[in-house]
Structure 1
Amino acid sequence: MKITGYRTLSTTHHWGRPVGDVNGYIASGVTDVPLVILETDEGVEGVATGSHHDLDRLFPALEGKDPRAVTTLYDAMLARVFKSSHGGATFGGIGTLDTALWDLKAKLAGEPLWRLLGGGDRFVHGYASGLDAALTDDELVTLYVAFAERGYTAAKLKGGRCLADDLRRFALVTETLGATGTTPALMLDANESWNVKQAVRYVSALEEHVDLTWVEEPLRRWDTAGHARLSPAIKAAVATGENLTGLEWYRPLLDGGGADIVQAGAIWGITHMLRVAMAAHSRDLPFSPVGLTANFAVAAVAAAVPNHLSSEVQDLGVPLGLTVDQQLIDGGIVLGELPGAGVAVDETAIRAARTAEGWQEPAGPHMRPHRSGLRMVESGGWGK
């Protein structure tokens, strides 16, 4: 069997609400979802969501090769771009092709991906994370009621700008998720918007009222020394790592004691996720994938690694034209039995629909405000 080509599509995810964080938000609640379909000479295809970046430059590392040699091909893609670096958006292209390879491998084996990777239980623990910074209080409650009805008892809120706002929002979510009598686990995601002293002051003040399980991305992703200083200064665990594009970025972070909970972004692919989980496991640290809503295959990794803590579930819907063999129930993800990652694509429906501008629109959360980490007073707005 040989890899012969690939094709790309873009669909959309309709969230039904504004989505974003303290860096910005997308008011329309419609985001783009890039898809890649890897083709073989035997007609079996691998499907992945993620990124279209640098695919033409990466694909020669795969062309004509047996797709079952997944980890070898992953390293071949890294080697293909080593002079210009595999960092940034290029890593998204590598991760998407890698996920399509794993989907192919599992289909050829006639197994669901989670079982091929060694998972013994199809249930993956999850937490609710609604990208909710722009929601009104009523909208926030409505969203987390829907999660509570699916059995979710843990939630991560976007925040870090205004203590009074965050305290009020945490109280609402605590009441919503705790309606069954369970005390919910609560997390705060600051999305790299603080410096270390801001983080200490803000989290310490918040912890006078809220029992935080973890604070996520409090500082810039590369600030190992700052994360290591922050952790003993607060009660909550420090969770970070989702935006690190390559295993080499984790070495200083982990060796320097900068993470209590090790995270990895779902968009970076299956092999990266496996390697990061094992690097964390070698240091007795828990592992938590981020962003499974549009990168469904990564839940299979969570089912297979020994140190999985909980995975981020951002929405209860799926992108247009996709069918996913998973159920979001019982406070987590129940994986299906279909061979591969369980993602089916209706290309006709996707091609007939419009595409959104996507996460990179100027007001969106992937654009860093110029005063992030430099504010002297609290601000509830964006970009101030």
Structure 2
Amino acid sequence: MKITGYRCVRTFRDWGRPIGDVNGYLKNGVTDVPVVILETDEGIEGIGTGSDQYIEQLFPALDGEDPRAVTGLYDRMLARVFKAGHNGSMFGAIGTLDMAMWDLKAKIAGEPLWRLLGARDRFIEGYASGLDIALDDEKLADFYTTMAERGFTSGKLKGGRDREADLRRLRIIEDALARNTRRPALMLDANESWNLKQAVRYVSAIEREVDLTWIEEPLRRWDASGHARLSNAVSAAVATGENLSGLEQFRPLLDAGGVDVVQVGCTWGVTHFLRVATVAQSRDLPISPVGLTTNQAVAHAAASVPNHLSAEVQDLGAPFGLTIDQQIVDGGIVLGDTPGHGVAVDESAIHLNQTSASWLLAEGPHVRPARAGLRLVPGDDHYDEAS
């Protein structure tokens, strides 16, 4: 079997609520979902989701190759772009093609990807995450009540601006999830918005009121010594790593003891996740994939590693025109038996229902505010809205 071509499809997800974090939010809650479909000479196709940028530049590394050699081809893509580097959207495109090849490999074998990767159990533990900084308290309670109805016992709040507001909202999440457990796990995500001493003061104050399971991305992603100092200063675990695009970028954090929960962005693909999970396991650290909402191939990989802790589940639906063979029940994801990673694309429906949507608006939520980490008091900033 040989890879012979590809095609790109753009669909969208309507989240039904504003979504974002401390860096900004999307008021209309609609985002684009790039889909890349790898074609083969035997008619079997592999599906990848995440980024469709730089696909043309990367495809020569795969053209004419057997997709079953997926890890070798992953390294071939990295080698093809080594001069310019493999950060950002380039790494996302590598991850998208990687997911498509793993989908092909499992389809060729006639097995679901979780089985091909050696998982014994198709269930993966998850936690609820509403991308919820723009939700008022009532909508926040509604979201986590819905997730509690699916059995979730842990939840993550987007915050970092106002300690009193975050405490109030963490308790709302705790109350919603308390139907399933006497002591829900609570996490707080600051999305790289603090400096070290801000983080120490903020988290220490939160911990005097609630039992915080982890603090996520408190500092800039490369600040290995800062993360280590914070971890030593607070009781909560420090969780970070989702924006590190390459195994080598984890080395300083791990060597400094700056990460307690190793996180991996699902958009970076299966091979990256598996490699980081192995390195984390060598340090006796748990692994936690971030953003399973569309990149379901990584859910299958999570089922196959011994140190998986919990995966971020942001929504119960699917992007328009995509169906996913899974169930979200009992506080996690039950993966299906469809060969591959279980994502199917209705291209005809997508072509007939085009919606313009993007995360990459000038206002955010992926634009770091100019005064991030430089505010002396809460409340002197504002939300950047994108509609």
Could you say which TM-score interval applies, normalised by the shorter chain? over 0.9
- Following TM superposition, by how much is the alpha carbon of 1:363 offset from its aligned partner in structure 2, in angstroms? 2.5
Q: Distance in 2 between matches of 1:339 and 1:366?
A: 35
Deviation digits for residues 330-368 of structure 1 (CA, Å, limit 9, x no counterpart): 000000000000000000111111233311112321111
**Equivalent position amino acid for 1:317 in 2:** G
TM (norm. structure 2) is: 0.98
- Following TM superposition, by how much is the alpha carbon of 1:179 offset from its aligned partner in structure 2, in angstroms? 2.4
Q: Distance in 1 between matches of 2:180 and 2:71?
A: 44
Q: Does the Cα contact within 8 Å between 2:364 and 2:384 map onto a contact in 1?
A: no
- Following TM superposition, by how much is the alpha carbon of 1:113 offset from its aligned partner in structure 2, in angstroms? 0.2
2:317 paired residue number: 317
Q: Does the Cα contact within 8 Å between 2:20 and 2:131 map onto a contact in 1?
A: yes
Q: Distance in 2 between matches of 1:138 and 1:374?
A: 31
**Equivalent position amino acid for 2:107 in 1:** K
1:258 paired residue number: 258
Q: Distance in 2 between matches of 1:50 and 1:182?
A: 37
Q: Does the Cα contact within 8 Å between 2:127 and 2:155 map onto a contact in 1?
A: yes
1:369 paired residue number: 369
**Equivalent position amino acid for 2:253 in 1:** L
Q: Does the Cα contact within 8 Å between 1:370 and 1:383 map onto a contact in 2?
A: no
Deviation digits for residues 145-164 of structure 1 (CA, Å, limit 9, x no counterpart): 11000000100000010011
- 5+ residue gaps, structure 2: none
2:382 paired residue number: 381
1:146 paired residue number: 146
1:29 paired residue number: 29
Q: Distance in 2 between matches of 1:46 and 1:189?
A: 34
SS in 2 for 1:215: strand
1:207 paired residue number: 207
2:244 paired residue number: 244
Q: Distance in 2 between matches of 1:354 and 1:103?
A: 25
- Whether 1:304 aligns to 2:304 is yes
1:225 paired residue number: 225
Deviation digits for residues 248-281 of structure 1 (CA, Å, limit 9, x no counterpart): 1011111111100100000000000000000100
2:268 paired residue number: 268
**Equivalent position amino acid for 2:383 in 1:** W
Is 204-213 or 347-356 further displaced after alignment?
A: 347-356
Q: Distance in 2 between matches of 1:237 and 1:299?
A: 23
Q: Distance in 2 between matches of 1:373 and 1:63?
A: 45
1:118 paired residue number: 118
1:193 paired residue number: 193
Q: Does the Cα contact within 8 Å between 1:18 and 1:29 map onto a contact in 2?
A: yes
TM (norm. structure 1) is: 0.99
- Whether 1:359 aligns to 2:354 is no
SS in 2 for 1:7: strand
Deviation digits for residues 271-296 of structure 1 (CA, Å, limit 9, x no counterpart): 00000000100000000000000111
SS in 1 for 2:91: helix
1:344 paired residue number: 344
- Following TM superposition, by how much is the alpha carbon of 1:383 offset from its aligned partner in structure 2, in angstroms? 5.7
Q: Distance in 1 between matches of 2:138 and 2:30?
A: 20
Q: Distance in 2 between matches of 1:199 and 1:383?
A: 22
- 5+ residue gaps, structure 1: none
**Equivalent position amino acid for 1:196 in 2:** L
Q: Distance in 1 between matches of 2:226 and 2:384?
A: 23
Q: Distance in 1 between matches of 2:232 and 2:265?
A: 25
Q: Distance in 2 between matches of 1:264 and 1:280?
A: 11
RMSD: 1.1
Is 216-225 or 354-363 further displaced after alignment?
A: 354-363
- Whether 1:43 aligns to 2:56 is no
Q: Does the Cα contact within 8 Å between 2:159 and 2:166 map onto a contact in 1?
A: yes
Q: Does the Cα contact within 8 Å between 1:266 and 1:292 map onto a contact in 2?
A: yes
2:85 paired residue number: 85
SS in 2 for 1:292: coil
Q: Distance in 2 between matches of 1:281 and 1:290?
A: 18
Q: Distance in 2 between matches of 1:14 and 1:140?
A: 18
